[in-house]
Amino acid sequence: MGNKIIYIKLKEGCKPIEYFRNSFDERKNYYYNLSSNAENELEISKACIDSSYFLIALIHDNDKIIYSYLGTGTISHNDKGFSIKFNIKSKLNYGTAIKNICKLSELSLSDDFGKDEYVLKEESELIAKQIDFIINKPFEEKSKGQRYENIDSENGLAVLAQRNEYCERAYNLRAPMQHRGEFQRDYERIVHSKAFRRMVDKAQVFSASKGDYYRTRMTHTQAVSQIARGIAEGLGLNMYLTEAIALGHDIGHTPFGHQGERTLDSILQGKFNIIKNVGSFTGDLSFGGFKHNYQSIRVATLLEEEYTEICGMDLSYQTLEGMLKHTKLKRDNYSLDQFISIDLS
């Protein structure tokens, strides 16, 4: 198969997507006919006939990729012209993996594809290796059902405390470990995240004077964690879950405390006319506003890049709920759907 890659650009809702979906669901070969009026596609057809390649079908809406199909196949020729015989082996939501592929290839849907062209050819050893890793084990992007067991260290918890066996995640990327509970995993994933380390430089209380005792978002988080541990120990609650919530609750917070949060909220509601490149946007330049607990969820489930397979850290629903509900939700002003790609209901 070598390093040959073919990209296919497909607009959401178009008929050919059905064949890619069927190939993925049925694990069968399907065909995609190449355009007879696109010079680039015919050149690709003649150059690649009977050779094997990796295939990436980029499903887009308004030139923004929303998901992708990855597989393998060959280009063949018959009485009707050239066609791609393909077998789709993986479907990716627009997560870290497909972002990396597009970044490595420097692919632009608007610039690299011609007006009537929907197929591009490239040779890249680096991209080919990444696709090969994705479409073969151990890569699995889809959500997996998982049952977690009781662990001995939680035997002394209160009756209503959360336990390892109750843990639920969106993806369940990693298999359970005998001496490492799932809420301990959440705690460790947060501690090792980039968003957690960034809190070191976020001032919580801002002052024009200088001194050695500034309270940053990190020192505040450490104090919250200490208080939360004391409460959890007194009530017999799950200590790792408590700490995970405490350490993660402010990873989406702005600098300069709640004044910074209120200012950013006003900007995103269009109250201040300071957003540049206004020609790139339509409407009243209102982006819905900002609230840090929703942003913490967005960081944990979308922005943080911990794994090749997915966006986010794959934290448990219990940890995410604690992070979200540590302060007021203001449901009438903010919709959770804007900040998260998984179902928290």
Rounded to whole angstroms, the Cα distance separating 322 from 231 reads 15
Beta strand 30-33 with 64-78 is unpaired
**What pLDDT is attached to residue 319?**
95
Q: Other CB atoms closer than 10 Å to residue 170's CB: what's the count?
A: 19
What are the 10-residue block averages of pLDDT along the chain, 345 residues in total? Answer: 83 90 90 68 59 87 86 78 85 75 79 76 82 72 76 90 91 85 94 92 68 79 95 95 95 86 83 66 61 90 79 91 89 71 52
CATH number for 152-338: choose from 3.40.50.300, 1.10.20.10, 1.10.3210.10, 3.40.30.10: 1.10.3210.10
**What pLDDT is attached to residue 142?**
62
Q: Which residues pair with 69 in a beta bridge?
A: 57, 91
For residues 217 and 235, the answer to whether their CB atoms sit within 8 Å is no
Beta strand 30-33 with 81-93 is antiparallel
**What pLDDT is attached to residue 208?**
59
Order of strands, sheet of 30-33, starting from the edge strand that comes earlier in the sequence: 30-33, 81-93, 64-78, 52-61, 4-11, 119-123
**What pLDDT is attached to residue 285?**
47
Rounded to whole angstroms, the Cα distance separating 108 from 60 reads 12
Residue ranges of domains in the chain: 4-135, 152-338
**What pLDDT is attached to residue 100?**
74
**What pLDDT is attached to residue 138?**
56
First-to-final CA distance of the chain:
44
Give ∠ CA 185-190-192 in degrees, rounded to 5: 95
Rounded to whole angstroms, the Cα distance separating 319 from 280 reads 37
